[in-house]
Structure 1
């Protein structure tokens, strides 16, 4: 077996990109809160969608991927530390959601919200590095292509906001990864690739301004 978990790695790449730019954005705005109602609402909505995306990702790992790894790799896998990491994420996400709700109401990025995003960024950078170092080799060695395809299909059926997820994934794809995604996804994926990025770029422009 030499299964490359491209979807997992792309999700991580998109997550890390957003962690960095959301933490940087809120750190700047906490020092200079010159926000109008529209941009404040857009940032708050983006942060809320981002928290939902992170929750969906780590819940899918806990409930879908981890059981497959434990069954396939047996004694070769110990997921205790990664599971413990996931357990601390939801309180962190809850604080960011609360800060985003206050931002939408008050049009002010609080120092607390900026600090919470910096903390989440640091936590997940470390966690994702640990996960890719330990889990990816196990997937390649012990999980068959068919089993991995079932994992990805199950995770897709669990939902997720495609108008948010797809453009963020596309933004971190290499040309080769994009070509493979088009080939494997067929017409539905081709349509999403064509239709979803433009409105998302407008959303990003409002949220991040000139920063990408």
Structure 2
């Protein structure tokens, strides 16, 4: 974004619901994938080769989603927020967190590949559970920091026009077939009505196409533990 126009007192505030929902979906997957891997390691859940492959692929897509999200924050959001808020916000620590995620995601991808190759192995399931638990804990802390500092700063200093442009650029990086059903699943009924009203017919048609195959994918990975899209 070449030109930034900071929000001034009295201007409407940007709506950060989309970012909060993305964070919520990320945390949900981190927690349920960790719980699944721990159950596999303990022997209270099992995976045949087909399920092992499905779990490995889901974890890989989850890692890609996290990398895409945080890269978009670094490349798209941070420059706009820094230009809008100036000295009112310090993004150095959060940027360091993003850099620290790369080796963690690399280890998790490797553990997911190893598990997919040997889904009956207790050692492979344990290694996967350890890496997922570490990612879950890092995300819990990092996202809490972002929602306590970054999103209030966005609402205070970034103009609605600049935020709309930021969200549009971030969406171009997203793999909608993976992101949209996961975000829809974590909305409250009121939130779902809001995003459905804003997205209009195009969003409702998109979800109608993307959600059913994604739910089938979730059942292959998680079994019966799959939430439905809130009713409009």
- Interval containing the TM-score (normalised by the shorter chain): over 0.9
1:5 to 8, 16, 19: 16
3-state SS of 1:196 partner:
helix
What is the CA-CA distance between 1:73 and the residue it aligns to?
0.2
Query: Which runs of structure 1 show a deviation greater than 3 angstroms over 4 or more consecutive aligned residues?
Result: none
**Which residue is 2:8 aligned to?**
none
Q: Deviation per CA, 1:23-42, whole angstroms, max 9, x where unpaired?
A: 11101101227321110001
Please give the residue correspondences for 1:41-120 in structure 2 after superposition, counting only pairs within 5 Å.
Answer: 41-107=53-119, 108=121, 109-120=124-135
1:175 and 1:146 map into 2 onto residues whose CA distance is: 27
1:163 and 1:82 map into 2 onto residues whose CA distance is: 28
Larger CA Rg, structure 1 vs 2: 2
Residues 38 and 125, structure 2, Cα contact 8 Å, conserved in 1: no
3-state SS of 2:133 partner:
helix
3-state SS of 2:47 partner:
coil
What is the CA-CA distance between 1:177 and the residue it aligns to?
1.8
Q: Is there any run of 5+ residues in structure 2 with no aligned partner, and where?
A: 1-11, 227-232
Matched, 1:14 2:25: yes
How many residues end up aligned between the 2 structures?
A: 211
Residues 15 and 155, structure 2, Cα contact 8 Å, conserved in 1: yes
Which structure's residues are more often helix, by fraction? 1
1:207 to 188, 200, 221: 221
2:16 and 2:53 map into 1 onto residues whose CA distance is: 35
1:51 and 1:96 map into 2 onto residues whose CA distance is: 8
3-state SS of 2:225 partner:
coil
What is the CA-CA distance between 1:76 and the residue it aligns to?
0.3
Give the RMSD, CA atoms, in angstroms: 1.3
Q: Deviation per CA, 1:39-61, whole angstroms, max 9, x where unpaired?
A: 00010011001000000000000
Matched, 1:25 2:36: yes
**Which residue is 2:187 aligned to?**
173
1:105 and 1:58 map into 2 onto residues whose CA distance is: 29
1:34 and 1:85 map into 2 onto residues whose CA distance is: 34
Q: Is there any run of 5+ residues in structure 1 with no aligned partner, and where?
A: none
